Amino acid sequence: MIRVVKLFCLLLMASATMAQQVQIIPEPTSIVMKEGKYMLPAKPVIIISSNELKPSASFLQNYLSTYYAVKAKISLGKPVQGAIVLLLDKTASSPAEGYTLQVTNGGITATASTDAGIFYAVQSIIQLLPAGGVASLSNGIPALQIVDAPAYKYRGMHLDVSRHFFSVEYVKQFIDYLALHKINRFHWHLTDDQGWRIELKKYPGLTKAGAHRNGTIVGRYPGKGSDNQPYGGYYTQAQIKEVVAYAQARYITVVPEIEMPGHASAAIAAYPWLSCFPKEKTVIPENMIATKTKEAQAAGALKFTQETFGVFDDVFCAGKDSTFRFLEDVLKEVVPLFPSKVIHVGGDECPKGNWKRCPACQARIKQMGLKDEHELQSYFIKRMEKVLEAHGKSLMGWDEILEGGLAPNAMVMSWRGEKGGITAANEGHYVVMTPNSHFYFDHKQRQKEDSVTIGGYSPLEKVYSYNPTPAAIDVDKRHFILGAQANLWTEYIGNPAKVEYMLFPRMAALSEVLWTKPEQKNWDAFKAKLPTQEQRYTLWKIHFSKDVVNEPLK
């Protein structure tokens, strides 16, 4: 008996060490180790069975060249011995984004029923490569078979480019990081109080005035005065198209966000008539305002792009028809730039003070038979939903859009915890979970961070522990949970190094929440894979946060 147990233990240990040879994040559905290994030839050939697989093959080709100095050739046609073969088989039974992967001494074969599936197979191939770069290639790739498919359809990551602006070049790099983590939605937060970042041909003021501010507070709110540094930037429509195409080639849908009715200071700075009170000054507290703004206000100028962070009273006027005409025009120009079926209109944190004292808003409430300002917000969003639907799009908004009644087909992003998402799903609305308790990557991941953050504490293990489908959702409504997303708000994140410090390795944990089947998630196994993931981050020259695995949960 003892001998049998011993043998069993030995076998277990052997399979554990073999499994350790492959450390894929997010963890695939199944990995079966086989005898042998595949040695990457000096000049590998990537065979594709159809042209639809070009983007996947190019991604791999690029990767091999950038990180291993290996020049691979792509060729369309029949499998050959020793090659990496990408096979699209529309009759295969693999689920939409799923794939199978076979590694033998004689080559690698990826099969999927969709081109997206092949792209994810490529991401796994990339993680089968020894993570130590060129020198480690001689270790080879262990023979195995992988069968894999994602747990959730909507696997999102957000970036706020309003509070701080990031170049097209960096946004593309960011998108590459998402692809490497099998994330398929990029939520691009393009407008907010501190800057309007997308060119609109009909309203050039939005980028002329709205994309710039005269200064930014120094340090964490309430800060230590203004840095008095003019700050700005925006994307031209041509650049937006370039980013969208870049993402598309990586099977990532760009979901743009145009904020309304709150977080509108930048638009109002450009066009004061969008405010309930065009003649009132933008309120920037005395100890945070840039000298230039102060002087301009003294000389009679009124509206400014915000220079500090938080929630501001000056919002889009919901009483005047001109506001709706403006927003209809904006959406009309935005829609054709983004193939995404979903357009995000914000809807969060809209103080109702101005609407309460605005005669036009009060008249609208009366005329439409609304109960209060919350119903006015709901009226606002419902009106926008009609506009988007007329363009063939669906509306998504933060969970405040539940207040005063949800628009009929609206999708909800639940950020103030899970409550909004649970209510919306139980009412039959599609939901993406982004609870700030777990998925706000602007929150600290170390108890002692060495730079300013917005606050909150979401260590790696907490991110990892999240389940996007809470038990409180009725069983027959659970399919309304499309997935989840992490958000990176950039009030205190002003450069790519800090972006990466906040994102990594938490994005690795996020990817298992989104991709790996919940019953297969395992914190200890994930922890064991982390050193290899960090080796990859080093290879990719990512500035990641180190030694975060043992941070306490609270």
Which of 192, 373, 461, 551 does the annotation list as catalytic?
A: 192
**Interface of this chain with ligand TNX, residues 461 to 490, rule: CB under 6 A:** 489
CA separation for the pair 226, 69 (Å, rounded): 46
Q: What is the DSSP string of 107-125?
A: EEEEEESSHHHHHHHHHHH
- Please state the closest distance from residue 264 (CB atom) to ligand TNX, in A: 12
- Let me know if 479 is a catalytic residue: no
Per CB under 6 A, the list member of 89, 280, 328, 348 interacting with ligand TNX is: 348
Q: What are phi and psi of 232, to 5 degrees?
A: -175, 180
Per CB under 6 A, the list member of 218, 454, 525, 548 interacting with ligand TNX is: 454
Residue 231 contacts residue 212 (beta carbons within 8 Å): yes
- Let me know if 227 is a catalytic residue: no
251 binds ligand TNX (CB under 6 A): no
Which of 263, 344, 438, 443 does the annotation list as catalytic?
A: 263
Radius of gyration of the chain (CA): 25
Q: Which is nearer to ligand TNX, 53 or 433 (CB)?
A: 433
Q: Which is nearer to ligand TNX, 328 or 349 (CB)?
A: 349
Q: Taking Cα atoms as reference points, which of 508, 505, 497 lies closest to residue 164?
A: 497
Report the Cα 397 to chain-centroid distance in Å. Answer: 15
Helix residue spans in 69-218 (DSSP H) = 115-128, 168-180, 205-208
- Please state the closest distance from residue 463 (CB atom) to ligand TNX, in A: 15
- Please state the closest distance from residue 518 (CB atom) to ligand TNX, in A: 25
- Please state the closest distance from residue 113 (CB atom) to ligand TNX, in A: 37
Q: What is the dihedral of CA 382, 385, 389, 394, to 10 degrees?
A: -130
Per CB under 6 A, the list member of 280, 328, 329, 349 interacting with ligand TNX is: 349
440 binds ligand TNX (CB under 6 A): yes
Q: Which is nearer to ligand TNX, 250 or 429 (CB)?
A: 429
116: left (phi over 0), alpha (psi -120 to 50) or beta: alpha
- Please state the closest distance from residue 272 (CB atom) to ligand TNX, in A: 22
Contacts of 140 (CB under 8 A, 6+ apart): 37, 38, 39, 40, 130
Per CB under 6 A, the list member of 27, 115, 257, 442 interacting with ligand TNX is: 442
CA separation for the pair 164, 454 (Å, rounded): 14
Per CB under 6 A, the list member of 251, 380, 415, 501 interacting with ligand TNX is: 415
Number of CB atoms found within 10 A of residue 177's CB: 18
Q: Which is nearer to ligand TNX, 452 or 454 (CB)?
A: 454
- Please state the closest distance from residue 402 (CB atom) to ligand TNX, in A: 13
- Let me know if 476 is a catalytic residue: no
The beta strands (E) that lie in 265-385 are given as 342-346
Size of site (CB under 6 A) for ligand TNX: 9
Which of 349, 375, 403, 449 does the annotation list as catalytic?
A: 349
512 binds ligand TNX (CB under 6 A): no
Give the per-residue contact string, 379-408, with ligand TNX (x = CB under 6 A; - = no).
-------------------x----------
CA separation for the pair 287, 282 (Å, rounded): 14
- Please state the closest distance from residue 312 (CB atom) to ligand TNX, in A: 11
Q: What are phi and psi of 107, to 5 degrees?
A: 145, -175
Report the Cα 477 to chain-centroid distance in Å. Answer: 25
Q: Which residues make up the interface to ligand TNX (CB under 6 A)?
A: 348-349, 398, 415, 440, 442, 454, 489, 491
Give the catalytic positions in this structure.
192, 263, 349
